[in-house]
Amino acid sequence: MRPEILNPLFAEVTALKGVGPALAKPLDRLGLGRVVDVAFHLPTGWIDRIARDELDMVDAGRTIAITLTAVSYRSSAGRGPTRAQATDAKGNYVSLVYFGGNSGWVKKLLPLGEPRRVSGRLEMYGQELQIVHPDYVLPLEEAGDTPEREAIYPLSEGLTSKRMGQMAAQAVERAPELAEWIEPGLLAKHQWPAWRAALARIHADPSDAKARERLAYDELFANQLALTLVRASSRARKGRALIGDGRLRAMLNLPYAPTGAQSRSIAEIEGDLRQSQPMLRLLQGDVGSGKTLVAAMALLVAVEAGAQGAFLAPTEILARQHYETLRGLLSGLPVNIAVLTGRDKGRVREATLMGLADGSIDILIGTHAIFQEAVGYKDLGLVVVDEQHRFGVAQRMLLTGKGQHPPHLLAMTATPIPRTLTLALYGEMDVSRLDEMPPGRQPIETRVLSEDRLDDVVNALGRHLSAGGQAYWVCPLVEESEKTDLAAAEARAETLRARFGDKVGLVHGRMKGPEKDAVMAAFSEGCTGVLVATTVIEVGVDVPNATLIVIEAADRFGLAQLHQLRGRVGRGSGASNCLLIRGSALSETSRARLALMRETNDGFRIAEEDLRLRGAGELLGTRQSGEAQFRLATPEMLSELLPIAHDDTRLLIDRDGGLSGPRGQAARVALYLFERDAGVALLRSG
């Protein structure tokens, strides 16, 4: 159970004074449903108020605090603005402008002839000075309530930074004093305040770097501790050694010799499988680096040792493609492979379940359906998880509960991840990297073109099709909505069909499985030449004859996603091209992103730059949300503080008595405070 001392923070947000159902709605849009969420909703900037005795045009654009006296009112008809004409001590004029048509309220706020301390952004309107909706209008005896510095928060409609600051102050008031979980020498070295003091200071003064750094460190420390506990728990469990005799692997007829990186990774995995401790390894490889071969080798080791293997993919398209790929790779071997997705029903499903239970199926490939309660294995020895970033720590733990013994786990990702982020998200796992490409892979030529040249692109597509080539055409994500995404794809498909007829296919995420499979099959078999798609093709589509990809509105995509999409081509021996169509108005970030795509095909370099440009929260994409997001640690802090948190966690476990010592007891509270559920679950069971 959560320690009682934290209960005031984990109360519903309506526990804060003045927060009723109406205010709870905009808070909910920001994901602030509890007091702790408000406390951790940190300001992103601040306003400095400049105290002035008289108005001056040189202050236009600044936020000032000044004593003013209203001398007249001017109201517009209907809902037009109400203007209070006011003067400073020297008789200089300024208009205080309020929109909304409530002139009576304005007159009450600014009675004629009575001085008020007014604060707001001074602006020039023509030749006149004005302040639109002043932040503060106070009687002189209350002028001390105007803060010199005020925090600016991320907001949604119906909230102001002032109101958010008031709620944050209440949330901090409810925060308890907690025992220190940071090693004393480290705390002194960095001159960090105590946890509660840091929380109070950052809301009062957003420029307080030490307070912000302390809170970011706490979150990273809790994350590292949770991952360390997961790893220790995994290693403490008695598993089963899988020692293959090599007979099946010797029968493989590979089209090329494995790369050095593949051979190294296979050796690392084979070494892990020989141990009775369950393997917990992440295989990172760029698009086309040969992860599937490594996974196949690992699965064959399991089958050689008399066990079964399961291969989990995040989507049905990817699951069925892996099934076809492995079936081709292992053809001629005495290995029985089956596929199971949520679509499989009736006799087909029953036959698969029976084969798993009696052991006649050696390798099962599928979606989450392969771990449903009804799916039982005779002897599951190895689980391979593809596109690992879509599965969180808790899910990784859940996957290993299906065997007689905890099975070994090999996780794979085709999204190259910077080393610091790897440590943050997969700190409980050993890591293998495929940083070489198999022979015959040619770099993809990438060009950036303005949307003004769309006709040229369509003409180039026509020449490509006439030469027997195939192409992808990826449509932009207009908003975070499949509906608008789909509309763009349907409109583009219609335009291209007017030119190329039935050579154009369309695939999107809202299609039913069989319909989607039929379109993909037609493209794979060369019946269609152009596949118009939403980002549903980001992973798992493999058509070697497709050597051209057009990505519309490429400036709306992140680097990692562009790199994944580009990886749909370049899968055969022919030269491939990627055309990035950009909008006319580019931000500096978008410009830098597209320039890097043109410059390099190195996914790991692209990932490092994506982390710098977009931040860790966006690197993996909003829909790929298996992992906990960092609320307090920025990408820059991640790089700087994560190694320190990693070392401090080891110090706690190895020197300071683990979780049973005084610092360990405080660290337990930190796990609950930062909701690192995997670690919390282990505390409950441990």
If you average pLDDT over residues 176-186, what whole number do you get?
Answer: 96
Who's near 72: CB < 8 A, 6+ residues apart?
84, 85, 112
Res. 150: pLDDT tops 50: yes
Q: Work out the number of other CB atoms within 10 angstroms of the CB of residue 387.
A: 21
Q: Supply 524's token pair.
A: 């794979």
- Nearest 10 degrees: CA dihedral of 229, 234, 237, 242? -160
Are 312 and 386 spatial neighbours (Cβ–Cβ below 8 Å)?
Answer: yes
If you average pLDDT over residues 179-187, what whole number do you get?
Answer: 95
pLDDT at 394: 53
Q: Supply 131's token pair.
A: 């302040």
Cα separations (Å) of 675 from 154, 304, 482, 630? Answer: 22, 41, 31, 11
Q: Work out the number of other CB atoms within 10 angstroms of the CB of residue 457.
A: 18
Q: Supply 424's token pair.
A: 């943050």
Are 219 and 202 spatial neighbours (Cβ–Cβ below 8 Å)?
Answer: no
- What is the distance of C-alpha 412 from the center of its chain? 17
Res. 73: pLDDT tops 90: yes
Collapsed DSSP state (helix, strand, coil) of residue 289: coil
Please report which residue ranges of 10-137 form alpha helices under DSSP H.
21-29, 35-39, 103-109
Cα separations (Å) of 672 from 328, 634, 662? Answer: 48, 21, 16
How does pLDDT run across 583-605, given as a tens digit for each residue?
877 778 788 889 999 998 888 78
Q: What is the largest CA-CA distance in the chain?
A: 98
If you average pLDDT over residues 396-415, what whole number do you get?
Answer: 72
Assign a CATH topology to domain 445-600.
Rossmann fold (3.40.50)
- What is the distance of C-alpha 390 from the center of its chain? 10
Who's near 173: CB < 8 A, 6+ residues apart?
none
pLDDT at 488: 78
How does pLDDT run across 413-453, given as a tens digit for each residue?
776 666 666 666 666 678 898 888 777 677 889 999 998 99
pLDDT at 616: 40
Residue tagged 């970033």 (tokens)? 389
If you average pLDDT over residues 360-378, what whole number do you get?
Answer: 86
Residue ranges with strand state E in 133-198: 136-139, 149-152
CATH number, domain 50-146: 2.40.50.140
| Total residues found in the chain within this entry | 686
Residues 427 and 234: their CA atoms lie apart, in Å, by 13
Collapsed DSSP state (helix, strand, coil) of residue 638: helix
What phi and psi values does residue 138 have, to the nearest 5 degrees? -130, 145
Cα separations (Å) of 51 from 69, 94, 165, 324? Answer: 16, 16, 21, 72
* Residue of 213, 178, 220, 172 whose CA lies nearest to 36: 172
pLDDT at 483: 45
Res. 621: pLDDT tops 60: no
Residues 563 and 304: their CA atoms lie apart, in Å, by 36
If you average pLDDT over residues 616-628, what whole number do you get?
Answer: 34
Collapsed DSSP state (helix, strand, coil) of residue 325: helix
If you average pLDDT over residues 293-309, what whole number do you get?
Answer: 96
Q: Supply 108's token pair.
A: 């009450």
Residues 516 and 135: their CA atoms lie apart, in Å, by 55
If you average pLDDT over residues 202-211, what whole number do you get?
Answer: 94
Which residues lie across from 136 on neighbouring strands? 119
Residue 154 exposed, middle or buried by CB count within 10 Å (0-12, 13-18, 19+): middle
Residue tagged 């303005």 (tokens)? 450
How does pLDDT run across 22-44, given as a tens digit for each residue?
999 999 988 899 999 999 999 98
Are 218 and 359 spatial neighbours (Cβ–Cβ below 8 Å)?
Answer: no
Residues 402 and 550: their CA atoms lie apart, in Å, by 43
pLDDT at 254: 85
Tell me the chain's radius of gyration from C-alpha atoms: 30
- Domain ranges for the chain, please list them: 4-45+166-207, 50-146, 247-434, 445-600
pLDDT at 617: 39
Res. 638: pLDDT tops 80: no
- Looking at domain 4-45+166-207, its CATH class is mainly alpha
pLDDT at 362: 97
Residues 426 and 227: their CA atoms lie apart, in Å, by 7
Residues 676 and 670: their CA atoms lie apart, in Å, by 9
Are 277 and 237 spatial neighbours (Cβ–Cβ below 8 Å)?
Answer: yes
How does pLDDT run across 573-584, given as a tens digit for each residue?
778 999 999 987
pLDDT at 625: 31
pTM of the model: 0.62
If you average pLDDT over residues 67-91, what whole number do you get?
Answer: 90
How does pLDDT run across 535-556, given as a tens digit for each residue?
766 444 678 889 999 999 888 8
Who's near 487: CB < 8 A, 6+ residues apart?
478
pLDDT at 479: 40
Q: Supply 399's token pair.
A: 């996957």
By mean pLDDT, which of 281-290, 310-319, 635-644, 677-686 is the weakest?
677-686
pLDDT at 613: 67
If you average pLDDT over residues 389-404, what whole number do you get?
Answer: 56
Residues 641 and 562: their CA atoms lie apart, in Å, by 29
Q: Supply 172's token pair.
A: 């901090």
* Residue of 368, 292, 287 whose CA lies nearest to 539: 287
Assign a CATH topology to domain 247-434.
Rossmann fold (3.40.50)
pLDDT at 370: 80
Same fold yes or no, 4-45+166-207 and 50-146: no
How does pLDDT run across 460-515, given as a tens digit for each residue?
999 999 999 999 999 875 443 444 556 678 889 999 999 999 999 998 877 777 78
Residue tagged 């790199």 (tokens)? 563
Mean pLDDT, the chain, rounded, equals 85
Q: Supply 423's token pair.
A: 């440590």
- What is the distance of C-alpha 5 from the center of its chain? 31
Angle formed by the axes of helices 588-599 and 559-566, to 10°? 30
Per residue, the 3-state secondary structure of 526-546, as one string, reads CCCCEEEECHHHCCCCCCCCE
Cα separations (Å) of 380 from 242, 282, 456, 462? Answer: 11, 19, 54, 50
Higher pLDDT, 477 or 631: 631
Are 361 and 644 spatial neighbours (Cβ–Cβ below 8 Å)?
Answer: no
Segment holding 233, helix H or strand E:
helix 209-236
Number of H helices and number of E strands within the chain?
24, 22
Res. 567: pLDDT tops 60: yes
